[in-house]
Structure 1
């Protein structure tokens, strides 16, 4: 899922008619090239932006808004590329998606180029794109207020009425501003757009690097176009079986595991941090801070933290060394002492702390996909209340954040079926940090189970959302390079550390 903030683009969801989409994979591959194939579109490339490298060039690929009506209204998909460094060794294109749903991807080639091995850069054009509805690709804007741009909210009996009103407002605004586009903002349509990009570039197959939601998008592509998928790398994977109602629940469960690990880590360093000599003592100290903040918010560096605001940092607990000074600072501020450190940077959903004019666009597309694809969202607000109370009891740190009332309860466009069953033998490499706050290890293991031809590399002790896309080196980098260069997967699933 998307993060907010300065690194949104990397860190923070094929073309055919509706009839073709229902054909068997082999038959679909045998069909004529889709809308946008070679010779059907003349692509005009130009420099993407003055603040981007001159080697990053952009164009627009036209695709149908509705694939059931391939000769009807079209929309633009903004595409970028950095050409391969070598020509003799060039294999094709490496399409990229940063996550979301709603994440812009035009700058991803320039951001990933320094992180990929030279052997990879010699063989692939790096290709990014803004998915349909996003950024420069016929964008969708719902015109959401700042408090409507967060994807999750804590539950409180006293504010539940306001939460319901906010969720209804988001759904109403999106329908009023973009009702003609919303039904077509789906993962399967974005996969069809990917195949249109492949065809427009004159490529028989594509390779792919997808992060977070981009792993689900990539898996859906392999399900729809298995013989057009070359070398696919999925970094920080979602479990298709959880799409979409189950994803926040999975994250809440993982937050409890990360919190328990943190209490053990902090207890072992009580001499340095003074939070407690046992995990139980550290846990008690944390919840005492939450209760204290619920009575009187704790002011830290000019920001007031109530108990919910402290719990909202739950994604930060995967980074034990970073989050501990934040808790220490809260404890000191609560006692009236000078705060020794600033708050830790939390792993937040898109919109929670995002900056810039594109937040409305990203969140609008996120809701269009999350609500438009899911038939599992309850329609009764009271069901959300019951779910939030139950989930918080089971997972006190974060259980209510994702289970509280959502705009999906009031979404009017007919839900499109999400692809919850992938189940194929396409060769795929999954890479996963052991401690990922947004797509936890259990989700990646779920993706691995349905991709029977895949191999998975788990980074033991790896912290944060993203292994390959992270700015720091990973022990999975060599596996990714080998696979992209040679096509060879590891002999079996493995763990590196």
Structure 2
């Protein structure tokens, strides 16, 4: 049944998103980073070598997608597979665009990325268009793109089976050997199928692709809206191309210092206080849910259900659920009412008086193979050197973190394909700059925690942060909180708040 759980980093277009901090790389440490200024051994500057890409003519056409409004048109850019070898192999990057409605007021382009890594973004601007005020749409061309290796942009495929796609794997001594073989197999299959491209499917190269998009659109600077992993991608762009960045909104921010293995582990750490909060909320409503009159009783009811499901899976509206399946749905506890409804349904299923038809995730199916492969390709390629390579370390960590974080600790810390992945073409990026970005964050976010967003805020020293107290869920913009007003004002005027903003979630959020 775990194979039917939404992969955590990709639920709601996320990150989704270390045991050790990634090896640092700044805008000055590699020839690739200086791609627009360096001179190669041939005596031809990298800027000149990239001219064929930055000055390519875009041919706009229908997006051939029934879900995309007619106002959006699509084009395909060519980008180098390896920015150290711009005359070599190429990749396609497909972009979408809806032009600013007021040419006189037009400021430039607003580029979007929904997260992942591995999530396609071609249709993301169209999905957000409803929430954008007319003032923003008058001033910006709205531009989406599928990152390299994802969706329609030279997509990756490793030939993984449905079972190999599932990485919601709890630690058990009896199955750990199988999980190690699974992680090795995924890494080996991707190396066999895509080994020549994998080293170049990285966040830094996606940032470079964004800069090619900027240049090909004839813009000196770009504005940006990124969610989840897209906040990390945006921060990397700010680090690499600070003078080409205009107004950047980072919604539900990943921790740039823990990107990689720490992305998973941060989810486990954040689930425990959310679970405690849920138990308190539910205990105050015992007359409705009958799960316990005190927080301790509510928690005991839940763990009794898990123990029963471990012995014999429960028949529910979501199918047969074992105890591990129930624990893997840790994200549901960030929305207290939804979680209370769900656990009450599980209790009825346990008693044989119902089937618990409330599904805790928005989509019970795994994402397509390309999105899972995109996740591993980018995250592992970025941070493979920082992952332990000894399976025994994952065993120890999973046992330790199951005790620390009972809901999800072992899921987060057990072995993943990154343990056996070959590093990408360059180290990951250390984010540390004075960029004047705007960070939006819900207090109760299951994917990127408030702690993670604060880390991003510290890394982007010129940024301002809007914290929605009581805000639930992954994704802030468009929910009707004060964050919408602040973001709209920033995009239309360029003015950040004088100081960080804290406000309460809107009613019903």
Query: Considering the TM-score relative to the shorter chain, is it more than 0.5?
Result: yes
The TM-score normalised by the length of structure 2 is 0.90
* Distance in 2 (alpha carbons) for counterparts of 1:9 and 1:493: 26
Q: Are the aligned partners of 1:45 and 1:58 in contact in 2 as well (CA < 8 Å)?
A: yes
Identify the residue that residue 338 of structure 1 maps to in structure 2: 354
> Following the alignment from structure 1 to structure 2, what is the Cα–Cα distance between the partners of residues 39 and 24?
10
Partner of 1:47: 62
8 Å Cα contact 1:258-1:435 kept in structure 2: yes
Residue 487 (1) aligns with residue 494 (2): yes
Structure-2 residue corresponding to 1:381: 391
Query: Could you tell me which residue of structure 1 aligns to residue 316 of structure 2?
Result: 300
Structure 1 unmatched runs, 5+: none
1:226 equivalent in alignment to 2:242: yes
- Going from structure 1 to structure 2, the CA distance change for 1:363 and 1:5 (only over 3 Å counts) comes to closer
User: Counterpart in 2 of 1:150?
Assistant: 166
1:388 and 1:188 map into 2 onto residues whose CA distance is 30
Q: Residue in 1 aligned with 2:277?
A: 261
- What is the Cα deviation at residue 17 of structure 1? 12
Gaps of 5+ in 2: 1-5, 18-26, 40-44, 505-509
Q: Distance in 1 between matches of 2:82 and 2:72?
A: 30
Q: Could you tell me whether the CA contact under 8 Å between 2:332 and 2:361 is conserved in 1? A: yes
Give the C-alpha shift of residue 4 in structure 1. Answer: 7.5
Contact 2:16 2:448 in 1 (8 A): no
1:21 to 2:36 alignment: no
Secondary structure class of the residue paired with 1:417: coil
Aligned position for 1:136? 152
CA distance 1:393–1:410, shift in 2 (3 Å): same
Q: Residues 35-434 of structure 1: matches in 2 within 5 Å?
A: 35=50, 40-51=55-66, 52-301=68-317, 303-339=319-355, 341-346=356-361, 353-354=365-366, 359-374=368-383, 375-413=385-423, 416-419=426-429, 421-434=430-443
Residue of structure 1 equivalent to 2:20: none
- The separation in 1 between residues aligned to 2:141 and 2:49, in whole angstroms, is 22
1:34/1:207 Cα in 2 relative to 1: closer, same or farther (>3 Å)?
Answer: farther
* 1:169/1:117 CA distance change after superposition, 3 Å: same
Q: Deviations 1:162-181 (Å, cap 9, x if unpaired)?
A: 11111111011101110011
Between the aligned partners of 1:254 and 1:347, the Cα distance in structure 2 is 20
What SS does structure 2 have at the residue aligned with 1:119?
A: helix
Partner SS, residue 299 of structure 1: strand
Give 3-state SS (helix, strand or coil) of 1:264's partner: helix
Please give the root-mean-square deviation of Cα atoms over the aligned residues, in Å: 2.6
Task: Report the alpha carbon displacement of residue 345 of structure 1 after superposing the two structures with TM.
Answer: 2.5
- Give the drift of 1:199: 0.3
Distance 1:300 1:490 in 2: 48
Deviates more, 1:46-55 or 1:232-241: 46-55
Shift of 1:157: 1.0
Which string of whole-angstrom CA distances, capped at 9 and with x for unpartnered residues, describes residues 327-350 of structure 1? 0011111112124x52332378xx
Q: Any conservation in 2 of the 1:371–1:415 contact (CA below 8 Å)?
A: no
CA deviation after TM superposition for structure 1 residue 212, in Å: 0.3
Tell me how many residue pairs correspond in the alignment: 483
Counterpart contact for 1:423–1:450, Cα < 8 Å: yes
Is 1:447 matched with 2:456?
yes
Cα distance in 2 between the residues matched to 1:424 and 1:193: 21
Distance 2:53 2:176 in 1: 53
